[in-house]
Amino acid sequence: MGDWSTADMPDQRGRRIVVTGANSGLGEQTARALGRAGAEVVLACRNVAKAQRVADEIGENATVAALDLADLTSVRAFADGFEGADVLINNAGVMALPLGRTADGFEMQIGTNFLGHFALTGLVLDRIGERVVTLSSLAHNVARLDIDDLNWDRRKYNRWVAYGDSKIADLMMALELAERLEKAGSSTISVAAHPGYAATELQTRTESLVDWVMKLGNATPLAQSAADGALPTLYAAAAPEAVNGKFYGPAQFGGLRGAPTEAGYRSVADDAAVRGRLWSTAEELTGVSFDI
């Protein structure tokens, strides 16, 4: 994999790629890079006006679609009008918010980051021609996932653990989907990625003093730009060498920064019984079943 960068990305002309949350941060940089490489890019976003400004700068090969992952009605509406794509990139997310609820009553982070993307993927999978890329995070290491209490109805809420829960759930979804696709003999693959420590707006929206700490951290040499943080996602989405069921992240400083490489993760994500329970619970909560 070496020092893979956007210069190594193949020509993307003829490919249609959906990027959720592409109006800012990692999603924006992912969409811009794919657009420069010639892909037809769909920016699937809650903030349509902000996404349109990004799409206008990318050019005529970029379009905007309304998608609020914190509202399953919006997810279903997007899926109903979806005409298909080569790649779906499950990028959108919120981080370390105070306790809040989605339109469907889910804890905001698990609801947006995981359940929204789970429902979206299940509803459009039959129209994804090549691969699904799902973003996790190094924060999956702090997760204390309780499948019987995904929505923090009984536990005392901890915003960072809740974020970690959502990100290990995303990783487990990607790995479980990869296994199911392979068993079904599908040519579609599922790949996971994480950005390391990338300086983005996401880290300054916790509505707490942590915002100031993160702003200081973003100015240190450990933090990389959003464009560099998008490289593992771009590798997972565009590199012919990307492998079904693999997890890609930065190679240096314990995964904080650098060119993409295969990343390690907590062993619980490989526990088939736990993944199966999470999958079944997500199907029950969202009302979405995968036709694989």
Question: Annotated catalytic sites, by residue?
Answer: 163
Angle, alpha carbons 67-78-171 (nearest 5°): 65
Can you tell me whether residue 82 is helix, strand or coil?
coil
Please, is 97 exposed, middle or buried when counting C-beta atoms within 10 Å of its C-beta (0-12, 13-18, 19+)? middle
Name the strand (E) or helix (H) holding 243.
none
Evaluate the CA torsion angle 120, 15, 179, 108 in order and state its sign.
Answer: negative
Angle, alpha carbons 139-113-270 (nearest 5°): 55
* Strand-pair partners of 40: 16
Identify whether the C-beta of residue 189 lies closer than 8 Å to the C-beta of residue 131: yes
What is the CA 9 to chain-centroid distance, rounded?
Answer: 20
Cα(63)–Cα(19) distance, integer angstroms: 11
Can you tell me whether residue 99 is helix, strand or coil?
coil
State the DSSP string of 112-133: IIIIHHHHHHHHHGGGEEEEEE
